[in-house]
Protein backbone atom coordinates (compact mmCIF):
# COMPACT_ATOMS: atom_id res chain seq x y z
CA UNK A 1 0.00 0.00 0.00
CA UNK A 2 1.37 3.40 -1.02
CA UNK A 3 0.63 5.82 1.83
CA UNK A 4 1.02 9.59 1.96
CA UNK A 5 1.87 10.95 5.42
CA UNK A 6 1.05 14.52 6.53
CA UNK A 7 2.37 16.17 9.71
CA UNK A 8 1.20 19.66 10.76
CA UNK A 9 0.96 19.47 14.56
CA UNK A 10 3.10 22.52 15.35
CA UNK A 11 5.80 24.40 13.46
CA UNK A 12 7.03 21.85 10.91
CA UNK A 13 5.17 20.89 7.75
CA UNK A 14 6.08 17.32 6.88
CA UNK A 15 5.03 15.21 3.91
CA UNK A 16 6.25 11.71 3.07
CA UNK A 17 5.51 8.71 0.88
CA UNK A 18 5.86 5.20 2.31
CA UNK A 19 5.48 1.97 0.38
CA UNK A 20 4.01 -0.61 2.74
CA UNK A 21 4.42 -3.40 0.20
CA UNK A 22 8.14 -2.84 -0.21
CA UNK A 23 8.54 -1.74 3.41
CA UNK A 24 10.52 1.38 2.63
CA UNK A 25 10.32 5.16 2.71
CA UNK A 26 10.28 6.46 -0.85
CA UNK A 27 10.61 10.20 -0.18
CA UNK A 28 9.97 12.82 2.45
CA UNK A 29 10.29 16.58 2.87
CA UNK A 30 10.02 18.91 5.87
CA UNK A 31 9.67 22.68 6.04
CA UNK A 32 10.60 24.24 9.40
CA UNK A 33 9.04 27.51 10.55
CA UNK A 34 11.84 28.28 13.02
CA UNK A 35 13.02 31.38 11.17
CA UNK A 36 9.49 32.81 11.11
CA UNK A 37 8.82 32.26 14.83
CA UNK A 38 12.28 33.29 16.00
CA UNK A 39 11.33 36.97 16.05
CA UNK A 40 8.59 36.20 18.59
CA UNK A 41 10.63 33.93 20.85
CA UNK A 42 8.21 31.03 20.36
CA UNK A 43 5.55 29.53 18.13
CA UNK A 44 2.66 31.83 17.13
CA UNK A 45 -0.26 29.44 16.41
CA UNK A 46 -2.01 31.61 13.82
CA UNK A 47 1.18 32.14 11.84
CA UNK A 48 1.95 28.43 12.04
CA UNK A 49 -1.46 27.52 10.60
CA UNK A 50 -1.16 30.00 7.73
CA UNK A 51 2.28 28.73 6.83
CA UNK A 52 1.09 25.11 6.74
CA UNK A 53 -1.56 26.15 4.21
CA UNK A 54 1.11 27.62 1.95
CA UNK A 55 3.51 24.65 2.23
CA UNK A 56 1.37 21.53 1.98
CA UNK A 57 0.64 21.45 -1.75
CA UNK A 58 4.22 22.30 -2.90
CA UNK A 59 5.70 19.76 -0.46
CA UNK A 60 3.30 17.05 -1.62
CA UNK A 61 4.21 17.70 -5.24
CA UNK A 62 7.91 17.59 -4.38
CA UNK A 63 7.60 14.27 -2.55
CA UNK A 64 5.62 12.68 -5.38
CA UNK A 65 8.18 13.89 -7.92
CA UNK A 66 11.08 12.55 -5.83
CA UNK A 67 9.41 9.15 -5.65
CA UNK A 68 8.43 9.21 -9.34
CA UNK A 69 4.79 8.64 -8.40
CA UNK A 70 1.55 10.42 -9.21
CA UNK A 71 -1.44 11.35 -7.08
CA UNK A 72 -3.42 8.53 -8.71
CA UNK A 73 -0.92 6.01 -7.31
CA UNK A 74 -1.84 6.80 -3.70
CA UNK A 75 -3.71 4.05 -1.85
CA UNK A 76 -4.03 5.66 1.58
CA UNK A 77 -3.36 8.85 3.53
CA UNK A 78 -2.30 9.29 7.14
CA UNK A 79 -2.38 12.64 8.91
CA UNK A 80 -1.59 13.86 12.41
CA UNK A 81 -4.91 14.03 14.23
CA UNK A 82 -3.35 15.19 17.50
CA UNK A 83 -2.07 16.26 19.90
CA UNK A 84 -0.90 19.68 18.79
CA UNK A 85 -2.08 23.18 17.89
CA UNK A 86 -5.74 23.07 16.89
CA UNK A 87 -5.43 25.36 13.88
CA UNK A 88 -2.31 23.65 12.59
CA UNK A 89 -3.91 20.23 12.95
CA UNK A 90 -7.00 21.40 11.07
CA UNK A 91 -4.90 22.37 8.06
CA UNK A 92 -3.42 18.89 7.73
CA UNK A 93 -6.73 17.16 8.44
CA UNK A 94 -8.59 19.25 5.86
CA UNK A 95 -5.99 18.61 3.18
CA UNK A 96 -5.85 14.88 3.90
CA UNK A 97 -9.59 14.35 3.87
CA UNK A 98 -10.18 16.49 0.79
CA UNK A 99 -7.53 14.55 -1.14
CA UNK A 100 -8.83 11.23 0.16
CA UNK A 101 -12.38 12.11 -0.85
CA UNK A 102 -11.26 13.13 -4.33
CA UNK A 103 -9.28 9.91 -4.82
CA UNK A 104 -11.75 7.63 -2.98
CA UNK A 105 -8.99 6.18 -0.79
CA UNK A 106 -8.87 5.60 2.99
CA UNK A 107 -7.75 8.40 5.30
CA UNK A 108 -6.55 7.67 8.83
CA UNK A 109 -5.81 10.04 11.71
CA UNK A 110 -2.57 9.17 13.52
CA UNK A 111 -1.47 10.04 17.03
CA UNK A 112 1.61 12.27 16.86
CA UNK A 113 3.34 10.41 19.68
CA UNK A 114 2.70 7.04 18.05
CA UNK A 115 4.55 8.35 15.02
CA UNK A 116 7.55 9.23 17.19
CA UNK A 117 7.44 5.91 19.04
CA UNK A 118 7.54 3.94 15.78
CA UNK A 119 10.01 6.19 13.93
CA UNK A 120 13.10 4.06 14.81
CA UNK A 121 11.49 1.27 12.76
CA UNK A 122 12.30 3.37 9.68
CA UNK A 123 16.03 3.08 10.36
CA UNK A 124 18.37 0.45 8.91
CA UNK A 125 19.01 -0.80 12.45
CA UNK A 126 15.56 -1.31 13.87
CA UNK A 127 14.37 -2.79 17.18
CA UNK A 128 12.08 -5.74 17.61
CA UNK A 129 9.11 -5.73 19.97
CA UNK A 130 8.82 -5.36 22.90
CA UNK A 131 10.95 -2.38 23.89
CA UNK A 132 11.07 0.56 26.29
CA UNK A 133 10.71 3.92 24.56
CA UNK A 134 11.91 7.27 25.85
CA UNK A 135 9.93 9.95 24.07
CA UNK A 136 11.72 13.21 24.78
CA UNK A 137 10.91 16.47 23.01
CA UNK A 138 9.83 20.07 23.52
CA UNK A 139 6.33 19.04 24.51
CA UNK A 140 6.71 15.54 25.92
CA UNK A 141 8.93 13.51 28.21
CA UNK A 142 7.54 10.02 28.68
CA UNK A 143 8.65 6.45 29.17
CA UNK A 144 6.53 3.83 27.42
CA UNK A 145 6.53 0.07 27.11
CA UNK A 146 5.81 -0.81 23.46
CA UNK A 147 4.68 -4.38 22.74
CA UNK A 148 3.56 -3.77 19.16
CA UNK A 149 1.76 -1.29 16.93
CA UNK A 150 -1.07 0.13 19.03
CA UNK A 151 0.14 -1.64 22.20
CA UNK A 152 1.54 1.06 24.47
CA UNK A 153 1.72 1.35 28.25
CA UNK A 154 2.72 4.59 29.96
CA UNK A 155 5.39 3.98 32.62
CA UNK A 156 6.22 7.55 33.61
CA UNK A 157 6.05 11.13 32.41
CA UNK A 158 7.03 14.65 33.34
CA UNK A 159 5.03 16.36 36.06
CA UNK A 160 5.73 19.83 34.65
CA UNK A 161 8.10 21.04 31.92
CA UNK A 162 9.20 18.59 29.25
CA UNK A 163 12.97 18.20 28.87
CA UNK A 164 13.03 20.02 25.53
CA UNK A 165 10.95 22.84 26.97
CA UNK A 166 13.41 23.19 29.85
CA UNK A 167 16.29 23.24 27.33
CA UNK A 168 14.68 26.08 25.37
CA UNK A 169 13.77 28.11 28.47
CA UNK A 170 17.26 27.76 29.96
CA UNK A 171 18.80 28.72 26.63
CA UNK A 172 16.67 31.86 26.67
CA UNK A 173 17.98 32.69 30.16
CA UNK A 174 21.49 32.51 28.70
CA UNK A 175 20.57 34.77 25.78
CA UNK A 176 20.79 32.02 23.15
CA UNK A 177 17.57 32.84 21.32
CA UNK A 178 14.88 30.50 19.94
CA UNK A 179 14.88 27.57 19.62
CA UNK A 180 17.70 27.31 22.09
CA UNK A 181 18.07 23.58 22.73
CA UNK A 182 20.74 22.85 20.08
CA UNK A 183 22.59 26.08 20.91
CA UNK A 184 22.58 25.21 24.62
CA UNK A 185 24.04 21.77 23.90
CA UNK A 186 26.76 23.29 21.72
CA UNK A 187 27.61 25.83 24.43
CA UNK A 188 27.77 23.03 27.01
CA UNK A 189 30.58 21.39 25.04
CA UNK A 190 32.77 24.37 25.97
CA UNK A 191 31.85 24.23 29.65
CA UNK A 192 33.83 22.73 32.53
CA UNK A 193 32.22 19.59 33.98
CA UNK A 194 31.45 19.92 37.69
CA UNK A 195 32.06 23.68 37.88
CA UNK A 196 28.48 24.14 39.05
CA UNK A 197 26.21 21.59 40.68
CA UNK A 198 22.52 21.60 39.75
CA UNK A 199 19.83 19.35 41.28
CA UNK A 200 18.80 16.04 39.71
CA UNK A 201 14.99 16.33 40.08
CA UNK A 202 13.18 13.12 41.09
CA UNK A 203 16.34 11.05 40.58
CA UNK A 204 15.65 9.17 43.81
CA UNK A 205 11.85 9.21 43.61
CA UNK A 206 11.65 5.45 43.07
CA UNK A 207 9.26 5.86 40.14
CA UNK A 208 9.66 6.68 36.44
CA UNK A 209 8.29 10.22 36.48
CA UNK A 210 10.25 13.38 35.68
CA UNK A 211 10.33 17.04 36.70
CA UNK A 212 12.40 19.76 35.06
CA UNK A 213 10.87 23.09 36.11
CA UNK A 214 12.93 23.26 39.31
CA UNK A 215 16.12 22.55 37.36
CA UNK A 216 15.35 25.52 35.13
CA UNK A 217 14.85 27.70 38.22
CA UNK A 218 18.18 26.55 39.67
CA UNK A 219 19.89 27.51 36.41
CA UNK A 220 18.23 30.93 36.65
CA UNK A 221 19.81 31.48 40.08
CA UNK A 222 23.27 30.80 38.61
CA UNK A 223 22.56 33.25 35.78
CA UNK A 224 21.58 35.91 38.33
CA UNK A 225 24.87 35.27 40.13
CA UNK A 226 26.58 36.03 36.82
CA UNK A 227 28.02 32.57 36.48
CA UNK A 228 29.95 31.47 33.41
CA UNK A 229 27.43 30.74 30.63
CA UNK A 230 29.24 27.72 29.20
CA UNK A 231 29.67 26.17 32.64
CA UNK A 232 25.99 26.76 33.46
CA UNK A 233 25.00 25.13 30.17
CA UNK A 234 27.23 22.15 30.94
CA UNK A 235 25.79 21.76 34.44
CA UNK A 236 22.25 21.91 33.05
CA UNK A 237 22.83 19.38 30.27
CA UNK A 238 24.66 17.00 32.61
CA UNK A 239 21.75 17.13 35.08
CA UNK A 240 19.10 16.41 32.44
CA UNK A 241 21.12 13.61 30.87
CA UNK A 242 21.80 11.96 34.22
CA UNK A 243 18.10 11.93 35.13
CA UNK A 244 16.97 10.63 31.72
CA UNK A 245 19.65 7.95 31.76
CA UNK A 246 18.80 6.74 35.26
CA UNK A 247 15.07 6.52 34.54
CA UNK A 248 15.67 4.62 31.28
CA UNK A 249 17.85 2.06 33.06
CA UNK A 250 15.26 1.68 35.83
CA UNK A 251 12.48 1.13 33.27
CA UNK A 252 14.48 -1.57 31.48
CA UNK A 253 15.25 -3.32 34.76
CA UNK A 254 11.68 -3.07 36.06
CA UNK A 255 10.15 -4.58 32.91
CA UNK A 256 12.99 -7.02 32.28
CA UNK A 257 13.70 -5.77 28.76
CA UNK A 258 16.97 -5.19 26.93
CA UNK A 259 15.89 -2.88 24.09
CA UNK A 260 15.58 0.90 24.49
CA UNK A 261 14.25 3.26 21.82
CA UNK A 262 14.86 7.01 22.03
CA UNK A 263 12.64 9.28 19.94
CA UNK A 264 11.67 12.95 19.72
CA UNK A 265 13.68 16.11 19.10
CA UNK A 266 15.86 15.83 22.21
CA UNK A 267 16.70 12.30 21.06
CA UNK A 268 19.13 13.91 18.62
CA UNK A 269 21.10 15.45 21.51
CA UNK A 270 24.68 14.21 21.26
CA UNK A 271 25.38 14.30 25.02
CA UNK A 272 22.32 12.15 25.68
CA UNK A 273 23.23 9.68 22.94
CA UNK A 274 26.81 9.39 24.17
CA UNK A 275 25.67 8.70 27.74
CA UNK A 276 23.08 6.13 26.66
CA UNK A 277 25.52 4.37 24.34
CA UNK A 278 28.13 4.15 27.11
CA UNK A 279 25.59 2.79 29.60
CA UNK A 280 24.31 0.29 27.02
CA UNK A 281 27.82 -1.10 26.57
CA UNK A 282 28.30 -1.27 30.33
CA UNK A 283 24.98 -2.95 31.15
CA UNK A 284 24.47 -5.02 28.01
CA UNK A 285 21.29 -3.53 26.57
CA UNK A 286 20.65 -2.24 23.04
CA UNK A 287 19.66 1.34 22.27
CA UNK A 288 18.03 2.47 19.04
CA UNK A 289 17.52 5.93 17.57
CA UNK A 290 15.74 7.29 14.50
CA UNK A 291 17.92 8.98 11.92
CA UNK A 292 18.63 12.57 13.12
CA UNK A 293 16.39 14.01 10.39
CA UNK A 294 13.51 11.89 11.73
CA UNK A 295 13.88 12.96 15.36
CA UNK A 296 11.98 16.20 14.87
CA UNK A 297 8.40 16.29 13.56
CA UNK A 298 8.11 14.78 10.08
CA UNK A 299 5.68 13.17 7.68
CA UNK A 300 7.69 9.95 7.39
CA UNK A 301 6.73 8.73 10.86
CA UNK A 302 3.04 9.50 10.15
CA UNK A 303 3.13 7.69 6.80
CA UNK A 304 4.80 4.67 8.42
CA UNK A 305 2.34 4.49 11.32
CA UNK A 306 -0.61 4.83 8.92
CA UNK A 307 0.79 2.10 6.65
CA UNK A 308 1.13 -0.26 9.63
CA UNK A 309 -2.41 0.36 10.77
CA UNK A 310 -4.02 0.27 7.32
CA UNK A 311 -2.02 -2.83 6.45
CA UNK A 312 -3.35 -4.60 9.53
CA UNK A 313 -6.94 -3.80 8.61
CA UNK A 314 -7.58 -0.66 10.65
CA UNK A 315 -10.81 0.90 9.47
CA UNK A 316 -10.66 4.66 8.93
CA UNK A 317 -13.66 6.77 9.76
CA UNK A 318 -15.86 8.53 7.25
CA UNK A 319 -14.45 11.55 5.41
CA UNK A 320 -15.46 13.96 8.16
CA UNK A 321 -12.20 15.16 9.59
CA UNK A 322 -11.49 15.45 13.27
CA UNK A 323 -8.57 16.82 15.25
CA UNK A 324 -7.64 16.27 18.89
CA UNK A 325 -5.38 19.01 20.27
CA UNK A 326 -5.30 17.12 23.57
CA UNK A 327 -5.16 13.37 23.05
CA UNK A 328 -3.58 10.89 25.44
CA UNK A 329 -1.87 7.99 23.72
Residues in the chain where the model's pLDDT stays below 70: 315-320
320, part of any domain = no
In whole angstroms, give the CA distance from residue 143 to residue 146.
10
322, part of any domain = no
In whole angstroms, give the CA distance from residue 174 to residue 220.
9
129: domain range?
125-289
**Alpha-carbon dihedral of residues 66, 71, 76, 78, nearest 10 degrees?**
60
Per-residue b/e over 69-80, b at no fewer than 16 CB within 10 Å? Answer: beeeebbbbbbb
Please count the structural domains in the chain.
2
88, part of any domain = yes
pLDDT at 318: 52
- Tell me the CATH number at 84: 3.30.420.40
Secondary structure of the chain: what % helix, strand, coil (to 5)?
Answer: 45, 20, 35
325, part of any domain = no
pLDDT at 315: 64
Helices marked H in 4-44? 34-38
Residues 113 and 75 placed together within one structural domain of the fold: yes
Digit-coded pLDDT (tens) for 202-258: 999 999 999 999 999 999 999 999 999 999 999 999 999 999 999 999 999 999 999
Cβ atoms of residues 287 and 260 within 8 Å: yes
Residues 151 and 223 placed together within one structural domain of the fold: yes
Long-range contacts of 38-41 (CB under 8 A, 24+ apart): 38/177, 38/178, 41/172, 41/178
Amino acid sequence: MLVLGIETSCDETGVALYDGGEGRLLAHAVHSQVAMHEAYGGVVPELASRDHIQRLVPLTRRVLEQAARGVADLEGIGYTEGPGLAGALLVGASFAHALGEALAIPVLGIHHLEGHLLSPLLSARRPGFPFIALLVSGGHTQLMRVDGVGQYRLLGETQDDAAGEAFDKTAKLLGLGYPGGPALSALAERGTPGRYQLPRPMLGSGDLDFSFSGLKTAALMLVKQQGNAADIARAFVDAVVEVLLAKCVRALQTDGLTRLVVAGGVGANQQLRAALDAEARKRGFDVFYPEPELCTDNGAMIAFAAAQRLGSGAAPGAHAFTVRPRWPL
